[in-house]
Structure 1
């Protein structure tokens, strides 16, 4: 009897560990997505600024920790290419994030995992819906 409870406890710990690992992977994807979106915003700002500047003007670009002197006409195409690559990467990370969310939901359903915060919010929304329907019953409309 005690051995069965111990086995069940170990199984539950393993399931919880796997679930937490999935959630951590999802958080990492979100953090990467936020970083990429900030980089994209910076690239767009720099590109818009450099488009208004003389193409022969010198500018500086940080490449691998080294500041390199270039001209605007040399740097602008590279920045546009980097921006396009970042946009493609953001699309890919969004797809990975939605797939990870589906994987987490499937795992929750398979192992009947309930998250305390979600359960309370569902109960609150149900009680709010019941209050709204009870309020609607007491309305008198005259023409």
Structure 2
């Protein structure tokens, strides 16, 4: 009977291994969520740039900054949006690299301690599909 209980629980792990593993998974999830938020923000910037690109440069535009509407010209708003888009893209790329590193660390950790030997490749595909499903239309 004891042998059956030990098989259900799996092999004994050194103290703190599961806590460290859970911490790694949580950090990975947070990075991934932040990356999804950045992708959404990037799409919003691209949408606004596309909407105002054909307007005259001296046309009035209203931009929400910190909960306050500010009147600016199209040329100023376009410049700010392009700079913001560039920053978002750089930050997104940085998070992408961190996610790859964290994923590699998770796989190594899982392999070392035999935590999930039959890791599904579908998990990464599910996250990519979720990312694609988070697209919205601004009307």
Return the TM-score normalized by structure 2. Answer: 0.72
- CA distance in structure 2 between the aligned counterparts of 1:21 and 1:106, rounded to whole angstroms: 15
Q: CA RMSD in A?
A: 2.1
Deviations 1:89-125 (A, max 9, x none): 111110000000011111112222126xx46x69xxx
What residue is the counterpart of 1:48 in the other structure? Answer: 50
2:89 paired with 1:87: yes
- CA distance in structure 2 between the aligned counterparts of 1:16 and 1:65, rounded to whole angstroms: 43
Question: Runs (4+) of structure 1 moved beyond 6 Å?
Answer: none
- CA distance in structure 2 between the aligned counterparts of 1:95 and 1:37, rounded to whole angstroms: 15
Relative to its length, the structure with more helix (as a share) is 1
Flag the 1:88–1:72 CA change in 2: closer, same or farther, 3 A: same
- CA distance in structure 2 between the aligned counterparts of 1:77 and 1:71, rounded to whole angstroms: 10
Deviations 1:1-27 (A, max 9, x none): xxxxxxx96835x21111111011111
Correspondent of 2:105 among 84, 103, 106? 103
- CA distance in structure 2 between the aligned counterparts of 1:27 and 1:10, rounded to whole angstroms: 23
The runs of 5 or more residues in structure 2 that have no matched partner are 1-10, 122-139
What residue is the counterpart of 1:62 in the other structure? Answer: 64
- CA distance in structure 1 between the aligned counterparts of 2:43 and 2:13, rounded to whole angstroms: 47
- CA distance in structure 1 between the aligned counterparts of 2:45 and 2:28, rounded to whole angstroms: 26
Return the TM-score normalized by structure 1. Answer: 0.70
The runs of 5 or more residues in structure 1 that have no matched partner are 1-7, 123-143
- CA distance in structure 1 between the aligned counterparts of 2:101 and 2:14, rounded to whole angstroms: 25
- CA distance in structure 2 between the aligned counterparts of 1:67 and 1:49, rounded to whole angstroms: 18
SS at match of 1:93: helix
- CA distance in structure 1 between the aligned counterparts of 2:83 and 2:13, rounded to whole angstroms: 51
